Structure formats: structure tokens, C-alpha cells
Amino acid sequence: MDRFRMIFQYFQSNSESVMNGICGLLALASVKMYTSFDFSCPCLPQYNVAYGLGIMFVPPIILFLCGLILNRQSLVMLEEWRRPAGRRKKDLAVIRYMCSSIMQRAMVAPVVWIIVTLLDGKCLICAFSGSVDPEKFVGFANVSTVQVQQLLAKVPCKDDELMKNNTSRKAVSRYLRCWSQALGWSILLILIIAAFLARWLRPCFNQATLLQARHWSNYIDIEQKIFEETCCEHSRLFAHKCILHFFESMRQEIKLHSFSLPREGEEAEGEEDLLRGITDQDQVNKLLKTWYYEKPPLDVSQAHQR
């Protein structure tokens, strides 16, 4: 009993920290993915915007879905939401609480990706180099419209022949990067202020409801884990009884069909016990064959009737 209590206390205290750990790992994974990803802007007029914005927004969606998939509590919440009411009422506040905590954790990695992307600047330079006003930059000011689009599209590619050592290219690049970093820092600041306010002001609103919702959401989580543990324990015991029953019935059958004298005074009681009356190559072969061809029924109540 003590051991179970320790295990469940572990689960209780660590359910939150396990989820926080996964959240942190996903955030780190998103940074690593960004740094190892080989960003190569196509430098073609229509493709730039699609590529740049795609790289900025598609991986966050993937990371968000991963955050939902890897979080065990999302399954628990879905089950709680979809179960028939039965003899236990459903509390929508609990489900809302679970949903919001899951969403918050799942949003961390996408936000990290977007901020890292903006602070690095390559995506925005690639996507919006074609949209800058060419009049502001000396090298692009007096060029025909069609050509200026082509030239601006090549700005993100430093090694392109037309763009090597072009000071206007560097100017456009710096301009866009400045906007990108400003946007990145602003978003970061806004999010941190929002998180700070949410955490500080939460006790001012509905603290009692919050405590209840948190308690019951923990309860549902633990109940689910204990149910799975109990099922495992049960299936192990069931299998044990089933196999013992099987060996016992083999022994009965052998007794019925063999003509051996009843044995008395066996010296190695322990060994006999383990041998369970199977003492012959043919008997062992028969046992193994019966195990395959005729598995015993899943009914161990018969064991008590012998």
C-alpha cells in the first residue's frame, strides 16, 4: 500500500511538471529546428512571399499540433467531454480549465518559432523585399518597374551575380531586418506583459472556482492513471490464474489417463510443486501443443469449483 501511495504521489506532483517538461522540450526543439533548417529564399518575384510566409507560419501550426498530440491531458479532456453523463455529472468549468491549460502549453513552441524567425529576419526579408518602395533606395530608384521587381526579388540572395557588393541591396536588407526585429521584440514584450497580468490578476477573479476546477481536473487525470494501473494488475492476475488452471487441468487429465500409483512421501516438495505433475517429454509436448491449438477459455471462476 505504501508503495502505491508513493507512486501516486509521484504522479500527482509530476503530472504538471511532466507536461511543463514536454513544453520546454518542444520549445528547444523548435529553436534547434530553425537553426538546422537551411533557409534558401528562391529570389523569384511571386515565390518569395509564399516561401517567406510559409516558413514563418506552417512550422508553428505543426508545432502546435505536436504540442496537442504529445500532451496526455488532451486525451483525458476529450474523453471527459465526450463521455455519456451516466451517474456522474459533467462539469463544464473543469473541461474549460483543462482546455485552456492545454492550449497555453501548446502555444509556447509556435510562439518561440515565430519570435526566433522575426528576430533572425531572413523570412521577412525574403517575403517583403519585393514590397519595399524602390524610390527610397538609390540603386533601385531609376529602374523600370518590371526590372525593379526582379531586382528587389533578388535582394535576399547575397551571392547572386547581380547583387554582389551592391550597397542598395544591403540597405534594403538592413531596413527589412530592422522592421523584422522591431516586430519580434514588440510581440515578445506584449506576450510577456499579458502573461504577467494574467498571472497577477487571476486571484482577483473567481479564485474559488479556479481551485475547484484545478482540483477536479487533477482528479480526473489521476483516476485515469489508476484505472490503467488497476487494469494492468488485473490482467496480470487473470493471466496467472488462467495459466495455473491450464496446468492443473493438464495434470488432472494425465492422472485420469495414466496408471501410476499414487505417490507418497515425495522428498522434493518444492520441485514437485513447480513440476505440476508434468514429468515426461510427451506430457510436455502435449501441454505445449494444447496451449497452441486449444487455448484455455478466459474464465477463471472454474478454478474454484474443482
Partner 1 sequence: MDKFRMIFQFFQSNQESFMNGICGIMALASTQMYSAFDFNCPCLPHYNLAYGLGILLVPPFILFLLGFVLNNNISMLAEEWRRPQGQRGKDPSVLRYMFCSMAQRAMIAPAVWLSVTLLDGKCITCAFCTSVPVETLGNASHPHLSQGEIQRVLARIPCKEIYNGQQLIANEVAVRYLRCISQALGWCFVLLMTTLAFLVRSLRPCFSQAAFLKSRYWSHYIDIERKLFDETCAEHAKSFAKVCIQQFFEGMSTDLVAARCHLSRKAPADAGEAAEKLLGITDQGTMNMALKSWHRCKPPLHLHPPALPTENGWAGEGQPPTHPSAPRREIAAYYSWV
Binders of partner 1 in range 78-117 (CB under 8 A): 78-79, 81-83
Whether the Cβ atoms of residue 226 and residue 8 lie closer than 8 Å to each other: yes
Phi-psi region of 86 (alpha: psi -120 to 50; beta: other; left: phi over 0): left
Q: Least distance in Å: CB of 208 to partner 1?
A: 30
Among 42, 99, 170, 210, binds partner 1 (CB under 8 A): 42
What is the spatial distance between Cα 306 and Cα 300, in angstroms, rounded to a whole number? 11
Q: Is 75 helix (H, G, I), strand (E, B) or coil?
A: helix
- Give least dist CB 134 to partner 1, A: 21
261 binds partner 1 (CB under 8 A): yes
Instruction: State yes or no: residue 138 binds partner 1 (CB under 8 A).
Output: no
To the nearest whole angstrom, how small is the minimum distance from the Cβ of residue 160 to partner 1?
Answer: 6
Element (H, E) at 291: helix 281-293
* Site membership for partner 1, residue 54 (CB under 8 A): yes
Contact positions with partner 1 (CB under 8 A) in 220-239: 229, 231-233, 235-236, 238-239
* Nearest CB to partner 1, comparing residues 33 and 188: 33
**Cell numbers describing residue 254:** 494425465
Q: Are 249 and 305 in contact (CB under 8 A)?
A: no
Options 34, 51, 128, 137; binder of partner 1; rule CB under 8 A: 51
Report helix, strand or coil for 54: helix
Q: What minimum distance in Å lies between the beta carbon of 242 and partner 1?
A: 7
Residue 12: CB partners within 8 Å, gap ≥ 6? Answer: 218, 222
162 vs 190 by CB, closer to partner 1: 162
